[in-house]
Chains A and B, each alone.
Chain A
Amino acid sequence: MKTPLAVIVLAALLPLLAGEYYINLASQIVIFAVFAASINLLLGYGGLATLGHAAYLGVAAYLSAFLYLKLQLAHWAIAPLALIGTTLMAGVFGLVALRATGLGFLMLTLALSQVLWGTAYRWVSVTDGDNGLRGLARPMPFGINMNEAMPFYYFVLVIGVFAIWMMARFVSSPFGATLRGTRDQPRRMSALGYDVWLIRWITFIYAGFWGAVSGLLFVYYHKYIHPVSLSLANSAEGLLAVIAGGSGTLAGPIVGAAIVLLLKNWASAYIERWNMLLGFVFVFIVVLMPEGVVPGVKRLWQRRSASRG
């Protein structure tokens, strides 16, 4: 329990040390980490590689933006509606996508999210198409003005820590153990009397729910939503973060999210061809630590202390 606590304390102290820009960057990392962690539930613990997870982020964001702009509801009413709506959608998508596993599952999730992406582009009366929905505002819980970087960061951090804790509880529960069982030995699990499909479906919905939470935070942060958030590129980036950080570990998605966003936003200010750097870093990770940064570093560390002791 020591390391997670230390990380949270450090994260909470960050605004005292860093400027506004870095606080905003940290907010984005936390949001992306929640998104990546929800992918990790499927990929790391369920063995289900998805290329359509941006659907939940995007739909929750679009629902929130639509309800706010066109129906002019209040944020406290919008947030549950957006989450419920997106979770229901995850349930339906799960019915379709979980008819397959492996590559079939990958293609089905991809297809479903592409449908949404196309809809967001085309259904101009609802989504404003390529212009995106803008003119949004951040919520004001307890009357705190969240337009400043620092209060918003703490808001995101509290929700982010809660989300990741909830996901950690999920995978460490007995249910999580059965989920890992379906990943490693689906036939045996089936023979033991577990309903493999149902376990996957519940996980799929749970992952969709937390994807929706990250979508809400995303739209609060940007106050803008564009179809690009629903695109394949966005799903793939999340998947990449999980793989780079280490799938099937708790810290992996967080580290992966930090790597991707730091390279994308911070390193690109200094290096013109930052896409290339991004590529090199991923090649480097895959070659040296194919299991991801977090397990890789842990392994190197253990080897070092073993050779010493």
Chain B
Amino acid sequence: MSFTRRRFIQAAGAAATAAAFPAAAQAEPIRLGLVTVKTGPLASGGIDMERALTQYLKERNDTLAGRKVELLVADGGGVPAQTRTKIQELVERDRIHLMIGPLDTASALAADDYIRQAQLLTLSVAAAEDMTQRKPNPWFTRGTSTSSQSAMPLADYAAKQLKYKRMAVIADDIAYGHEMCAGFMRVFEDAGGKVVQRMFPPLTVPDYGTYLAQLKTNIDSIFLGFAGSNGFRFLRQMNEYGLIKKMAPIGGMTALDEAVLRNMGDEALGIITSCWYSAEIDNPINQKFASSFRSQWKYDPGFYAAATYTEAAVLEATLNQIKGRVEDKPAFMKAVRSVKVDSCRGPVSFDQYGNVVGNVYIRRVVRKEGRLVNSVIHTYPNVSQFWTYKPEEFLKNPVYSRDWPPAKNLES
């Protein structure tokens, strides 16, 4: 780049103007906080979040809507109270304008009232259902999905396309797992199927042998609602027990995430999962994102990487709409709910509760160029958090949990 004298004078003039009018808000960078997890069992996803967000900002030369963006990263460790303190630190000491995060459901719930109190603009990744349902937070939006938003289309697919009639469900014993299983079971049973067995092993169970021994053999398939590396560990053991050949499992959005898929072998081939993202989605934005992420880090971006990359796209589109004036919080929240973005996951918009409406992909594991990938085999366009239910009726029911909806068809 040639730096001519004229450009120098222009730049100097601009700098002088900025110095002369320090009150001009546009000159100040946007301080963006990323609250993630870099220590503990959720760390691999949390680090992906940071990598993808850094990549997005780098591609834009750290400038969104004409304003520089300064990224501040905090590690909440996946512990609710600690995450809350970290968010306070970002708000009260670093004076961030907005936040992407936190990663885990419990931390998002712990931060809920602080987000309200501080009126902190939040683009979240955590799947906690009620943050955008029965107790919607006006400063909170989510561009990824609720826990069950991807599981409900999969239930539909299992009942209607795969013609499954009897299924078991298994998930981590945390709110995320409960919500995912509940959504799956409701849609599957409304479509005529039966969930005949349900298991919730603890998040840190060292061995799935006892659960596999209990598993019924007269079922069509089992739904895996695992997070982190548990899907990987469960499948490996299922393979050792010779069960994969008897029943092909299907999985929720984090069971066979790209982050764990790279460690798997042929036992994963053919398994069907659903998610709002796959590194294999065929659109120009994703092709660019996935290939440059892969070339830098030597693995495919998955759920968490795509999450912050999508949130960053939402952020940019919103900032463009309000001309970068992030200080006007109500305008920002109004804009973010009306924004329509083409992102790596496909077109994205928001409902009035601040949750995303976007495509959900049914994917099958295949081998491509020597590595396992989640190849898209079916797309459910514009899925909302309420699936096909009416929002008002959906919200009259209790939040998805272990106890709701009641399991009617369990066989002992």
Which A residues are within 8 Å of any B CB, using their own CB?
19-22, 24-25, 28, 121, 124-125, 129-132, 134-136, 147, 149, 222-224, 226, 228-229, 264-265, 268-269, 272-275
Contacts and interface: CB of A to CB of B under 8 A. Distances in A.
Given A24-B88, A130-B174, A226 B110 contact: yes
Contacts of B80: 132, 224, 226, 228
A277 to B, nearest CB: 12
B352 interface: no
A265 B112 contact: no
Contacts of A20: 92-93
A134 B109 contact: yes
Q: Which of A28, A134, A136 has the most CB of B within 10 A?
A: A134
B79 A228 contact: yes
Contacts of B401: 124, 129
Interface residues of B, number: 34
Contacts of B92: 19-21, 24, 149
Q: Summarize B's interface: helix, strand, loop or mixed.
A: helix
A135 B106 contact: no
Interface string B135-150: 1000000000000000
Q: Summarize A's interface: helix, strand, loop or mixed.
A: helix
Interface string B30-41: 000000001100
B175 A28 contact: no
A224 B39 CA distance: 23
Nearest to A233: B79
Given A222-B110, A224-B80, 16 more contacts: A20-B93, A21-B89, A124-B402, A124-B403, A130-B105, A130-B174, A131-B175, A132-B109, A223-B113, A223-B114, A224-B84, A224-B113, A228-B81, A228-B106, A264-B82, A265-B82
A20 B93 CA distance: 7
B10 interface: no
Which 3 A/B pairs are nearest by Cβ-Cβ distance? Answer: A21-B92, A21-B93, A130-B175
A19 B135 CA distance: 31
B75 interface: yes
B85 A28 contact: yes
A131 B39 contact: no
Contacts of A19: 92-93
B172 to A, nearest CB: 10
Nearest to A130: B175
A265 B79 contact: no
B74 interface: yes
Nearest to A265: B85
B130 interface: yes
B86 interface: yes
A226 B86 contact: no
Contacts of B93: 19-22
B117 interface: yes
Contacts of A124: 401-403
B84 A135 contact: no
B165 to A, nearest CB: 30
B321 to A, nearest CB: 31
B86 A265 contact: yes
Nearest to B110: A224
B38 to A, nearest CB: 7
A134 B112 contact: yes
B89 A226 contact: no
A97 to B, nearest CB: 25
Given A20-B92, A21-B93, A24-B88, A131 B117 contact: no
Interface in B70-118: 74-75, 79-82, 84-86, 88-89, 92-93, 105-106, 109-110, 112-114, 117
B376 interface: no
B85 A130 contact: no
B128 interface: yes
Nearest to B174: A130
Contacts of B175: 129-131
A69 to B, nearest CB: 12
25 contacts: A20-B92, A20-B93, A21-B93, A24-B88, A125-B403, A129-B175, A129-B401, A130-B106, A131-B106, A131-B128, A131-B130, A134-B109, A134-B110, A149-B92, A222-B84, A223-B113, A224-B80, A224-B81, A224-B113, A228-B106, A265-B82, A265-B89, A268-B75, A272-B38, A275-B39
A169 B86 CA distance: 36
Contacts of A229: 81
A19 B95 CA distance: 11
Contacts of B174: 130
Contacts of B105: 130-131
Contacts of A28: 85
Contacts of A24: 85, 88, 92
